[in-house]
């Protein structure tokens, strides 16, 4: 993580350990996590969701360029900072890979079928999670939701996605291509063909250069920040 220098990810500055714990010190991001905004709005209109999705796409593209598998994409791990743009946080289960990895981990509703089947997987599982993420932004719930984890896994393996009527045809097609159990047909199976994803019809009006430079008008600026709620006494004790 110390090598990361993307406007949409935090960086690891240093780490230290005590007799009981390891501590990782990363970039502080003041703002709200995206799930708070989503819970308040119930769901996002497609243009609002697209604003956040494009930034996440660029964050994943950047990580994958370093062969870093993120593995825990979800609104809770995205902080909308005080300027209205996002930062991807919590790299606790991320991993640098060469080909395949086999660890069973992640947030159940966002896990790709190949993780559940324990067949080994690669960077493409992040793009499956990206499809779940976009679906959740635009609907307010995940496509494979159940209160029972085993049922979530069954729903993922069945991969029978139901769409709200308000979803555009372009959005449905994008998600269908991301939530594809066949790896050879899924956006994106490797770093080279990410162009196909960025060129998809749902992203047709996106100026990727402006997004990368954070030079577009943000959709929402948090009304309060984490600094407003910090327990200064607890911080002082931690620093002693």
Residue 88 in contact with residue 173, Cβ under 8 Å?
no
101 close to 163: Cβ distance less than 8 angstroms: no
Per DSSP, 11 falls in state: -
C-alpha 125/C-alpha 155 separation (Å) is 16
Beta strands (DSSP E) in 108-159 are none
Q: What DSSP assignment string belongs to 46-85?
A: HHHHHHHHHHHHHHHHHHHHTTEE----SGGGEEEETTS-
Q: How far apart are CA 6 and CA 46, in angstroms?
A: 25
Backbone φ and ψ for 98, nearest 5 degrees, come out as -100, -50
Chain-centre distance for alpha carbon 123: 13
Q: DSSP assignment, residue 237?
A: H
For the record, the structure tokens of 7 come out as 């406007």
Given a contact cutoff of 8 angstroms between Cβ atoms, the answer to whether 186 and 117 are in contact is no
Q: Is 231 a catalytic residue?
A: no
> Catalytic: which of 19, 72, 90, 228?
72
Is residue 145 a contact partner of residue 161, using CB atoms and an 8 Å limit? no
| Residues with a known catalytic role | 72
């Amino acid at each position: 993580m110390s090598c990361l220098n993307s406007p949409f990810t935090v960086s690891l500055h240093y780490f230290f350990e005590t007799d009981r714990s390891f501590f990782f010190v990363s970039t502080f991001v003041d703002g709200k996590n995206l799930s708070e905004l989503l819970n308040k709005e119930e769901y996002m209109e497609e243009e609002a969701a697209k604003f956040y999705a494009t930034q996440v796409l660029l964050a994943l593209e950047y990580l994958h360029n370093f062969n870093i598998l993120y593995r825990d994409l979800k609104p809770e791990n995205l902080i909308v900072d005080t300027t209205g743009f996002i930062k991807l946080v919590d790299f606790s289960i991320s991993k640098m890979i060469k080909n395949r990895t086999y660890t069973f981990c992640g947030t159940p509703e966002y896990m790709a079928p190949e993780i559940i089947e324990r067949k080994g997987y690669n960077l493409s599982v992040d793009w499956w999670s990206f499809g779940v993420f976009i679906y959740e932004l635009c609907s307010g719930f995940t496509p494979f939701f159940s209160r029972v984890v085993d049922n979530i896994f069954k729903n993922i393996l069945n991969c029978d996605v139901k769409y709200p009527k308000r979803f555009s045809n372009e959005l449905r097609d994008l998600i269908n291509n991301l939530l594809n159990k066949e790896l050879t047909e899924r956006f994106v199976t490797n770093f080279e063909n990410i162009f196909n994803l960025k060129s998809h019809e749902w992203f047709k009006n996106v100026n990727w250069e402006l997004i990368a430079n954070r030079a577009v008008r943000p959709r929402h600026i948090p009304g309060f920040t984490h600094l407003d709620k910090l327990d200064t006494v607890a911080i002082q004790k931690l620093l002693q």
